């Protein structure tokens, strides 16, 4: 299936762009991202117009970048602004595609489709990432699998007790109340855990007297593959302890048909100034994903042998509803875009 092009994709955390260009393949196109004179990110095709050298190996000067091979210089709109050869003539063939970018909530977003349409919509807002009431950690993971398989994994929390027994003890999913809701192109997988035993995560964040909680994990998906996970715990026993909230983003951007950039963030409103808690959370998230989710999703991708999910007639279980709905919404959006383009 082609990629959805008219959409904002997460391209990198703002801190990643410093004084060096960053090379990142997005929707199977090589892109160079660098910081312009005003600090805003500039994104160009990472392939010089002359002999296709990677501009990401070149030098930045203000808004421009100079090719490391024969020295053509390109401006922020991708047009050549300096040719050190011959009479220095500049022709229209000496330009590279430029891509609109935005910075929002600490994330650099890139638009890979029709530039006119980029001005008609904004990247998704995740304002809790700018809320001073939260401490935020964030990171990047690389997944060797199709991005929709990573979406499937994130929308289905029932795998946790099998794949992550240290996070979700065996039998814990039996107490989860699950509901999938699709509204205005947005799909939410609601997981509610009423009057449940407190979990290792919330034991870390809440008062140690809290034994039982009303837990929630509501995963909100929007096309193409951006998710916000609203997780939190309200104490039931004792009822007067403080609650805890840990909203997260899980933003997926296809690198190729076979690999995915995964930008995650995790916010917390408890134990906010404890650096060791940040470190434990970072290690826990990275470990679960790198050692448990990623190998599983990669193995599934390999077993599917490049075939589309529904062509393989998968057996579907109740907790697949959100992922199936998300796949259908995305397929519809891509089909609409393709037919408009045609």
Binding region for ligand FES (CB under 6 A): 48, 50-51, 53, 67, 69-72
Min separation Cβ 69 and ligand FES, Å: 4
Nearer to Fe ion, 293 or 337 (CB): 293
Min separation Cβ 336 and ligand FES, Å: 38
Interaction partner, residue 293 (ligand FES, Fe ion, none; CB < 5-8 Å by kind): Fe ion
Query: Segment contacting Fe ion (CB under 5 A): 18-26, 41-49, 270-278, 293-301?
Result: 293-301
Query: Segment contacting Fe ion (CB under 5 A): 22-30, 35-43, 290-298, 317-325?
Result: 290-298
- As a whole number of angstroms, the distance between CA 293 and CA 154 comes to 10
Nearer to ligand FES, 36 or 71 (CB): 71
Min separation Cβ 296 and Fe ion, Å: 8
Which residue's CB comes closest to Fe ion? 293
Burial of 268 (0-12, 13-18, 19+ CB in 10 A): buried
Interaction partner, residue 70 (ligand FES, Fe ion, none; CB < 5-8 Å by kind): ligand FES
Min separation Cβ 98 and ligand FES, Å: 16
Interaction partner, residue 13 (ligand FES, Fe ion, none; CB < 5-8 Å by kind): none
Quickly list DSSP for 235-299: EEESTTSPPEE--EEEEEEEEETTEEEEEEEEEESSSTT-HHHHHHHHHHHHHHIIIIIHHHHHH
How many residues comprise the chain? Answer: 342
Nearer to ligand FES, 22 or 55 (CB): 55
Min separation Cβ 85 and ligand FES, Å: 8
Nearer to Fe ion, 185 or 200 (CB): 200
Nearer to ligand FES, 58 or 247 (CB): 58
> End-to-end distance of the chain based on CA atoms, in angstroms?
15
Min separation Cβ 54 and ligand FES, Å: 9
C-alpha neighbours within 13 Å on the C-beta side of residue 56: 17
Q: Omega before 115 cis (within 30°)?
A: no
The contacts of residue 75 (CB under 8 Å, 6+ apart) are 63, 64, 81
- 160's enclosing H/E stretch is helix 160-163
Q: Does 293 bind Fe ion (CB under 5 A)?
A: yes
Please state whether 52 falls in left (phi above 0), alpha (psi between -120 and 50) or beta. left
Min separation Cβ 75 and ligand FES, Å: 15
The contacts of residue 125 (CB under 8 Å, 6+ apart) are 104, 105
Dihedral angle at the C-alpha atoms of 201, 204, 210, 212, nearest 10 degrees?
10
Contact of 134 with 272, CB cutoff 8 Å: yes
Q: Tokens 């100034």, residue?
A: 273
Interaction partner, residue 69 (ligand FES, Fe ion, none; CB < 5-8 Å by kind): ligand FES
Nearer to ligand FES, 32 or 201 (CB): 32
Interaction partner, residue 96 (Fe ion, ligand FES, none; CB < 5-8 Å by kind): none
Catalog residues that contact Fe ion under the rule CB under 5 A.
293
């Amino acid at each position: 299936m082609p990629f959805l092009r008219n959409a904002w994709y997460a391209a990198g955390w703002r801190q990643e762009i410093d004084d060096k260009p960053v090379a990142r393949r997005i929707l199977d196109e090589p892109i160079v991202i660098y910081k312009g004179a005003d600090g805003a990110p500039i994104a160009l095709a990472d392939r010089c117009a002359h002999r296709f050298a990677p501009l990401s190996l070149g030098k930045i000067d203000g808004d421009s970048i100079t090719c490391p091979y024969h020295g053509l210089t390109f401006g922020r709109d991708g047009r050549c602004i300096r040719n050190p050869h011959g009479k220095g003539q500049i022709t229209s063939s000496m330009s590279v595609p430029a891509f609109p970018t935005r910075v929002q909530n600490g994330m650099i977003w890139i638009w890979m489709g029709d530039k006119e349409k980029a001005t008609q919509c904004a990247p998704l807002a995740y304002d809790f990432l700018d809320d001073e009431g939260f401490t935020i950690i964030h990171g990047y993971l690389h997944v060797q699998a199709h991005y929709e398989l990573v979406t499937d994994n994130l929308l289905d929390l029932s795998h946790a007790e099998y794949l992550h027994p240290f996070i979700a003890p065996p039998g814990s999913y039996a107490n989860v109340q699950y509901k999938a809701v699709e509204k205005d192109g947005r799909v939410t997988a609601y997981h509610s855990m009423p009057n449940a035993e407190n979990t290792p995560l919330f034991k870390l964040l809440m008062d140690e007297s809290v034994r039982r909680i009303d837990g929630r994990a509501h995963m909100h998906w929007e096309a193409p593959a951006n998710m916000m996970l609203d997780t939190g715990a309200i104490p039931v026993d004792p009822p007067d302890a403080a609650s805890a909230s840990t909203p997260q983003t899980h933003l997926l951007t296809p690198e190729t048909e076979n690999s995915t950039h995964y930008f995650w963030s995790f916010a917390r409103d408890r134990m906010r100034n404890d650096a060791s808690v940040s470190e434990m959370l970072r290690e826990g998230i990275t470990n679960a994903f790198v050692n448990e989710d990623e190998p599983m999703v990669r193995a599934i991708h390999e077993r599917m042998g490049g075939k589309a999910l529904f062509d393989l007639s998968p057996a579907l279980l109740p907790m697949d509803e959100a992922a199936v709905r998300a796949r259908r919404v995305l397929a519809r959006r891509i089909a609409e875009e393709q037919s408009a383009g045609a």
